């Protein structure tokens, strides 16, 4: 059934560390090997063996329109006809910057980069440069890319592979990073009271998506905002995943919180490699060449990524887009919870917009410690059996999954039927 993927993986193991270019893709935590994808269309993937799957990974979030949306493809074809990269300013990067600034009130200026990791590491450097302070506060299970200072207490692949940190990260970086429980404003207040005058920034996923999907508790984000104001620390929202995914203006629009800096990725590149960070004009004015905080990138503002991002943002800005997406997402997550309950399987479900989570634990799940109570063996069995039924999920308990505009009623019904069968098998 997967013979071509198996052969490709064996070849890759000799050429690429672990056979993959990003660790979670190796599927080790779910006891299987990765599928090699040949093509995609709408909400479906096709692997190298010709198998078809309903896709809930969506390239880990950016495919909010589904794969190969006509508007995105047309924009890419037009851009490709002009060239692939210039290493110079283009009209497209100005247009995309304007769309983001218009959509996100906290962003007055923005700098394009090539990945979410670049965005977060650059925002951290800017916060340190602007405040003259060294300490960064983050939250357990929130993943902000693989920059040295942000791997402390990280989620995503670090959690999936049960890696405590990473060799190669100097102790000094660890000493300047404090990781606290997500949704715990009391502990944050205590730490800020003790060290606030040395804390450059607090960085947070406003909706945690890298320990599974964990929404903020009521009042948590507002408390973080107020504490940063009190102690003069920069508040950074990592919206690489949530930006334009949970709402057109991101999670900050959904929860009415205004951060100082915001990191973007995923959707603003329409599925191509991209990242960005932006925020208050006085902060962004400190970025070189306007200011002394240095950051650069040869491929930043790449015309193909800009074109795909512009096309995507214009499509998702259309009236009713998010309402329809939320309706499909709610139907799916409610159906999954009901199927598990019918089979007597304990799960905790969560959803914010079209980001969803399903934990194999009674719940509720409010932080990383709660998420880690999940039954990983049962999740692994669930993953493998859903895959066998043509449902492509993230191969980790500690990842969110995503619904796109291309997930029609047939795809949702197919998924729920598969889940009902699988939960029934897990219960026996």
143 is a catalytic site residue? yes
Q: What is the mean pLDDT of residues 316-342?
A: 97
Confidence label for 1 from pLDDT (cuts 50, 70 and 90): confident
What CA–CA distance (Å, rounded) separates 118 from 148? 12
pLDDT band at 161 (very low <50, low <70, confident <90, very high): very low
Structure tokens at 122: 């650059």
Please give the pLDDT value at position 147.
Answer: 75
Task: Show Cβ contacts of residue 253 under 8 Å, excluding neighbours closer than 6 positions.
Answer: 104, 105, 247
Looking at residue 300, its pLDDT comes to 96
Marked catalytic residue, from 143, 277, 322, 392: 143
Q: What is the mean pLDDT of residues 54-78?
A: 98
pLDDT tens across 385-405, in order?
999 999 999 999 999 999 999
Task: With CA atoms as reference, report the closest residue to 63 among 245, 246, 211.
Answer: 245
Contact residues for 218 (Cβ-Cβ < 8 A; gap 6+): none
Q: Which long-range contacts (CB under 8 A, 24 or more apart) does 46-52 make?
A: 47/2, 47/4, 47/5, 48/4, 48/5, 48/8, 49/1, 49/2, 49/3, 49/4, 49/5, 51/1, 51/2, 51/390, 52/390
Q: What is the mean pLDDT of residues 80-101?
A: 97
Task: Spot the catalytic one: 138, 266, 383, 392.
Answer: 266
Q: Is the pLDDT of residue 275 over 50?
A: yes
323: pLDDT strictly greater than 70: yes
pLDDT of residue 377: 96
Tokens 């509720």 belong to residue: 364
pLDDT category at 160 given cuts 50, 70, 90 is very low
**Which residue would you say has higher pLDDT here, 163 or 134?**
134
Q: Is 235 helix (H, G, I), strand (E, B) or coil?
A: strand
Sign (positive/negative) of CA torsion 137, 142, 145, 149? positive
User: What is the rounded CA–CA span in Å between residue 401 and residue 392?
Assistant: 10
- Alpha-carbon distance of 345 to 207, in angstroms, equals 26
Sign of torsion, CA 340 341 345 348?
positive
Whether the per-residue pLDDT at 131 is higher than 70: the answer is yes
Whether 90 contacts 303, CB under 8 Å? yes
Calculate mean pLDDT across residues 3-31.
95
Residue with token string 């107020």: 226
Sign of CA dihedral 252, 258, 263, 268: positive
Which H or E run includes 425?
Answer: helix 409-427
* Confidence at residue 153, expressed as pLDDT on a 0 to 100 scale: 60
- Nearest-Å Rg of the Cα atoms of the chain is 21
Cβ–Cβ under 8 Å, residues 392 and 45: yes
The arithmetic mean of pLDDT across residues 363-373, rounded, is: 95
Residue 370's pLDDT band, with cuts at 50, 70 and 90, is very high
Active site (annotated) includes residue 229: no
Structure tokens at 39: 């093509």
Instruction: Give the mean model confidence (pLDDT) for residues 22-39.
Output: 95
- pLDDT for 148 equals 67
Q: What is the pLDDT of residue 154?
A: 52
| 266 noted as active-site residue | yes
- pTM check: above 0.75: yes
What is the reported pLDDT for 62?
Answer: 97
Indicate which residue of 47, 55, 184, 238 is catalytic.
Answer: 238
Domains, the chain, in order of start with CATH, read 3-68+320-427 (3.90.1150.10), 70-316 (3.40.640.10)
What count of other Cβ atoms lies within 10 Å of the Cβ of residue 295? 18
* Residue 235, strand partner residues: 202
Segment holding 264, helix H or strand E: strand 261-265
Per-residue pLDDT band at 173 (split at 50, 70, 90): confident
Using alpha carbons, list the distances in angstroms from residue 292 to 109, 263, 284.
16, 20, 11
Least trusted range by pLDDT, from 95-104, 116-125, 151-160:
151-160
């Amino acid at each position: 059934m997967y013979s071509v993927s198996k052969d490709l993986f064996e070849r890759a193991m000799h050429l690429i560390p672990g056979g993959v270019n990003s660790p979670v893709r190796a599927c080790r935590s779910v006891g299987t090997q990765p599928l090699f994808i040949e093509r995609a269309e709408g909400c479906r993937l096709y692997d190298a063996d010709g198998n078809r799957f309903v896709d809930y990974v969506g390239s880990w979030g950016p495919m909010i329109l589904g794969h190969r949306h006509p508007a995105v493809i047309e924009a890419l074809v037009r851009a490709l006809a002009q060239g692939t990269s210039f290493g110079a300013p283009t009209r497209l990067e100005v247009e995309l910057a304007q769309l983001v600034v218009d959509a996100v009130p906290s962003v007055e200026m923005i700098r394009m980069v090539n990945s979410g990791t670049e965005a977060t590491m650059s925002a951290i450097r800017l916060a340190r440069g602007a405040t003259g302070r060294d300490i960064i506060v983050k939250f357990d299970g929130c993943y902000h890319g693989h920059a040295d200072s942000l791997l402390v207490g990280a989620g995503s692949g670090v959690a999936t592979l049960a890696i405590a940190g990473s060799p190669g990260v100097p102790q000094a970086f660890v000493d300047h990073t404090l990781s606290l429980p997500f949704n715990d404003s009391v502990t944050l207040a205590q730490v800020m009271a003790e060290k606030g005058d040395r804390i450059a920034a607090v960085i947070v996923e406003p909706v945690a998506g890298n320990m599974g999907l964990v929404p903020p508790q009521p009042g948590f984000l507002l408390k973080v905002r107020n504490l940063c104001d009190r102690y003069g620390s920069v508040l950074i929202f990592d919206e690489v995943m949530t930006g334009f995914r949970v709402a057109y203006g991101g999670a900050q629009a959904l929860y009415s919180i205004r951060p100082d800096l915001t990191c973007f990725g995923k959707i603003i590149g329409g599925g191509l490699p991209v990242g960005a960070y932006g925020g208050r004009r006085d902060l962004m004015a400190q970025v070189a060449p306007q200011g002394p905080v240095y950051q650069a990138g040869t491929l930043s503002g790449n015309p193909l990524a800009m074109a795909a991002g512009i096309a995507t943002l214009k499509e998702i800005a259309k009236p009713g887009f998010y309402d329809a997406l939320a309706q499909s997402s709610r139907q799916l997550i409610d159906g999954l919870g009901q199927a598990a309950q019918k089979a007597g399987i304990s799960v905790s479900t969560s959803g914010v917009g079209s980001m969803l989570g399903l934990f194999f634990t009674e719940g509720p799940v409010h932080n990383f410690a709660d998420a880690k109570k999940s039954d990983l063996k049962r999740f692994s069995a669930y993953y493998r059996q859903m895959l066998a039924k043509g449902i492509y999920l993230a191969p980790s308990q500690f990842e969110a999954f995503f619904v796109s505009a291309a997930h029609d009623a047939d795809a949702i019904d197919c998924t729920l039927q598969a889940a009902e069968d699988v939960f029934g098998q897990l219960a026996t």
